[in-house]
Chains A and B, each alone.
Chain A
Amino acid sequence: MADQKEPERITPSAGKPRDWSGALGSAAPQPAPAAAGPAKIELYEKGKTVHNKRIDGPFRRFKWLVMLVTLAVYYITPWIRWDRGPYAPDQAVLVDLAHRRFYMFDIEIWPHEFYFVAGLLIMAGIGLFIVTSAVGRAWCGYACPQTVWTDLFQHIDRFFDGDRNARARLDKAPWTAGKITRRTSKWAVYLVISFWTGGAWIMYFADAPTLTYDFWRGEAATVAYATVAILTGTTFWLGGFMREQVCVYMCPWPRIQAAMLDEKSLIVTYKDWRGEQRGSLKKAAKNPEAYGDCIDCLQCVAVCPTGVDIREGQQIGCITCGLCIDACDRVMKEIGRPRGLIDYATLEQCEAEAAGAPAKPAWKALLRPRVFIYFGVWGAIGAAMLFALGARTHTDLTVSPDRNPPFMLMKDGSVRNAYTLRLRNMEARPRDMEVAMVGLPQGAVMWTEAVSMDNAAPVQVIAVPANETKVVRAYVMVPPGAAADSFSFRLTSLDEQREQDLAETRFAMPGNE
């Protein structure tokens, strides 16, 4: 966080000196009271429960929308059906670990094509770079599961215990029967949501309706129950209790993003040159020249889901969700000041505005070379993957020759080699495939275990089941006296596609081992 070392960058105008020790989302450590014996050194701040106040505004509504969409995608996706014919599962998104297939709508990924998944992960990584360089920690503020579930659980708090002040009071209140009832019912709802969250996860790995049925009958796999138990536990704990502690202490992403932010990244900023000197309306009325727009109402702190004071500057606890902007804009409206005392802005823009330049719309920050370069790389990988996906054949052949014995002398002096052929049919229907040999002398024949030597012929037709790799042991025999060495098997699908694949191998015989 380079900007921490040069605070003058965003504090060009006079104001009260900023305490940067709070930049990690914590207040300055309290000096331990001088008791008997050496003072106990506290290495970290004790966590405080954040009771964020209800707020409404454009960013809150956007947060609702993202929450609705992400939760809907998560819970509903496994239940979408997708017809792939009788030989493949009809679940739109399915990670079929047992059969080693990954289905995503019309795309089916086989294990040998795992580079597609690697490509998707690389795209996800670069996608986060784009988002970070364009809109800062927008991922943290809106779409991160930790943020979404924390938000959901904070709404449940509000539903059971009331808004900020009521919740703080209840926290301090003694454990009466009423409090116990409220807490147990609230935690029960936590638990139901957590269980539902864990339960939704396993649906991605098996046919959802079947798994649900098996799950409740106690017939699902142990790993399904274990996964649900673990995810129920983590959701309950991380969403219900850890909350912003995860962002501040556990998550690596804020650190990575902190390294990626620069003076041109959008962040949530308190415009201190406009706000300072802060003071109540009464004080300001007495001495308008000395005071700025900030009336020190602390609404920005009250609504913050991670409990930070954005006026201390950019900090790791700030997930840039924009709720403080909603809160401050309301207050500014009430006291008749222009909105945007707290706003999305870049550090560069802040400096310019402090020096008297007019405010620029935030979206202009998106248009800069870094964003375009990331987008170009991201788009190129995506286009390359789409091309590879469209150009891939659904037929594949691999050959492994028997190594021991390398060849076999037959009764009539012919030489026979044995090969293991793997015929891959990636179509969701059974197909006949023709196997031929290219580059062997005249009279070379082949047969398989299924047809026996009596039916040896220059080509064999093999029925390959839908969506499977068929393993065939094939024998190739070269007549006495003929010389052979390198050659290829050629696989041709006997349908309208006539897809082909060549697999090189060699024919071992006396003299060329």
Chain B
Amino acid sequence: MPGEYGYPNLNDNDWIWGGTLTDIETTLTHGIRWEGSDATRVNYMPAFDGMFDAGQVAALTSHVLSLSGKAKPNATGAVLFTENCAACHGATGAGLPAMGAPALNDAIWLYGGSEAAVRKQILAPRHGVMPGWKDRLDPATIKMLAAYVHSRGGGQQAAPAAEPATDVAQAPMAETDG
């Protein structure tokens, strides 16, 4: 599950909509921006094409890249970011999984981390769609699938009130031969 361009990698520890077992189960059940469920995960980042001039776009792009150390911070970009982006992506760009706002301060970029790719996403963001599986898989299967995805190396632990399903992911494997 390395993830094609535009599809999130499920092996890493970056989760746009959260990486606990319940988060993954919800995503699997209801999908993302999926018409088939009222409870689907949905958000739409506004397109900023036409709202900024070329200099502002360049400054903002540079500031976004600076959050992960790939460019120098700049004051113009910082102001634009605080006014337009920080509400969802956070002041430091840490993201907000509850809203599906990706972290911008890490090494993982769904649509690419180059300057051109970031500018493109600011001007015309793409909104990927994932179908929910509640009509096609029974709840037990979805739970098993969630445990599997969670087990692929990046699964996050839930807050202290952990759900019992955690055991599934941690069941030890044993085989009898050499």
Contacts from A to B (Cβ < 8 Å): 99-100, 110-112, 396, 404-405, 408-413, 416, 418, 422, 424, 449-450, 452-454, 465, 468-473, 475, 480
6 tightest A-B CB contacts, nearest first: A112-B178, A411-B106, A413-B107, A405-B2, A471-B173, A411-B14
Nearest-CB residue, chain B, relative to A447: B153
- Enumerate B1-31 residues with CB–CB distance to A below 8 Å: 1-2, 9, 11-14
Check B106–A412 contact: CB distance below 8 A.
Answer: yes
B13 near A411 (CB under 8 angstroms)?
yes
CB distance A404 to B2 under 8 Å?
Answer: yes
- Alpha-carbon distance A472/B151, docked complex (angstroms): 12
B157 adjacent to chain A (CB < 8 Å):
yes
Contacts of A475 in B (CB 8 A): 153
- A476 to chain B minimum Cβ distance, whole angstroms, is 11
User: Could you name 22 residue pairs across A and B whose Cβ atoms are closer than 8 Å?
Assistant: A111-B178, A405-B2, A405-B11, A408-B2, A408-B153, A408-B154, A410-B13, A411-B107, A412-B107, A416-B153, A449-B151, A449-B169, A449-B170, A452-B170, A454-B157, A468-B174, A469-B175, A469-B176, A469-B177, A470-B173, A473-B151, A473-B173
Residue contact B178 to A409, C-beta cutoff 8 Å: no
Write the residues of chain B forming the contact surface with A, with a CB cutoff of 8 angstroms. 1-2, 9, 11-14, 68, 103, 106-108, 151, 153-155, 157, 169-170, 172-178
Whether B174 contacts A470 by the Cβ 8 Å rule is yes
Which residues from B are CB-within-8-Å of A424?
178
Which one of A100, A404, A405, A408 lies within 8 Å of B176 (CB-CB)?
A100
Q: Are the CB atoms of B178 and A453 closer together than 8 Å? A: no
Q: Collect the chain A residues with CB atoms within 8 Å of residue B153's CB.
A: 408, 416, 418, 453, 475
What are the residues of chain A within 8 A of B106 when measuring CB–CB?
411-413
Q: How far is the CA of A100 from the CA of B106 in the complex (A)?
A: 48
By the criterion CB–CB under 8 Å, are A410 and B174 in contact? no
Which residue from B1, B107, B169, B177 sits with its C-beta under 8 Å from A100?
Answer: B177
Chain B neighbourhood of A412, CB < 8 A? 106-107
Residues of A within 8 A of B174 (CB): 465, 468-471
Instruction: Identify which of A99, A412, A449 gathers the most chain B CB atoms within 10 Å of its CB.
Output: A449
Q: Which residues from chain A contact B14 at a C-beta distance below 8 Å?
A: 410-411
Could you tell me the distance between the alpha carbons of A454 and B173 in the complex, rounded to whole angstroms?
21
Residue of A nearest to B151 (CB): A449
Chain B residues whose C-beta falls within 8 Å of the C-beta of A453 in the assembled complex? 13, 153-154
Which B residue sits closest to A464, measured CB to CB?
A: B174
A279, B68: Cα distance in complex, Å: 114
From A100, A409, A453, A471, residue with most partner B Cβ within 10 Å: A409
Query: In the complex, what residues of A have CB within 8 A of residue B11's CB?
Result: 405, 408, 418
Contact A470 B157 (CB under 8 A): no
Tell me the smallest distance from the CB of B104 to a CB of chain A, in Å: 11
- Cross-chain contact A408 with B9 (CB below 8 angstroms): yes
What would 17 more interface pairs be, CB under 8 Å, given A410-B12, A418-B11?
A99-B176, A111-B177, A111-B178, A404-B2, A405-B9, A409-B12, A410-B13, A411-B12, A411-B14, A412-B107, A413-B68, A413-B107, A416-B12, A422-B178, A469-B174, A471-B173, A472-B172
CB distance from B79 to the nearest CB of A (A): 26
What is the CB-to-nearest-CB distance from B171 to chain A, in angstroms, rounded to a whole number?
9
Within 8 Å CB of B9, what residues of A? 405, 408
Q: Is the CB of B172 within 8 A of A411?
A: no
* Bound Cα distance A382, B173 (Å): 37
CA distance A412 to B153 in the complex (A): 15
Q: How far is the CB of B13 from chain A (nearest CB, A)?
A: 5
Scoring B153, B175, B177 by chain A CB atoms within 10 A of each residue's CB, the highest score goes to: B153
Q: Which residues of B contact A100 (CB under 8 A)?
A: 176-177
Residues of B within 8 A of A470 (CB): 172-174
Is A469 within 8 A of B178, CB to CB? yes
Q: Which residues of B contact A450 (CB under 8 A)?
A: 170, 172
Rounded to whole angstroms, the CA-CA distance of A418 and B173 in the bound complex is 16
Within the assembled complex, what's the spacing in Å between the Cα atoms of A453 and B12? 11
A408 and B178 CA atoms in complex are apart in Å by 29
Q: Which residue of A lies closest to B169 (CB)?
A: A449
In the complex, residue of chain B having the shortest beta-carbon distance to the beta carbon of A452? B157
Q: How far is the CB of A421 from chain B (nearest CB, A)?
A: 11
Bound Cα distance A246, B151 (Å): 61
How many angstroms from the CA of A12 to the CA of B67 in the assembled complex? 108
Q: How distant is B119 from chain A, measured CB to nearest CB, in Å?
A: 22
Complex: A418 Cα to B13 Cα, angstroms: 13
CB B65 to nearest CB in A, in angstroms, measures: 14
Residues of A with C-beta under 8 A to B154: 408, 410, 453
| Closest B residue to A417 using CB positions | B153
Is the CB–CB distance between A411 and B169 below 8 Å?
A: no
Contact B108 A411 (CB under 8 A): yes
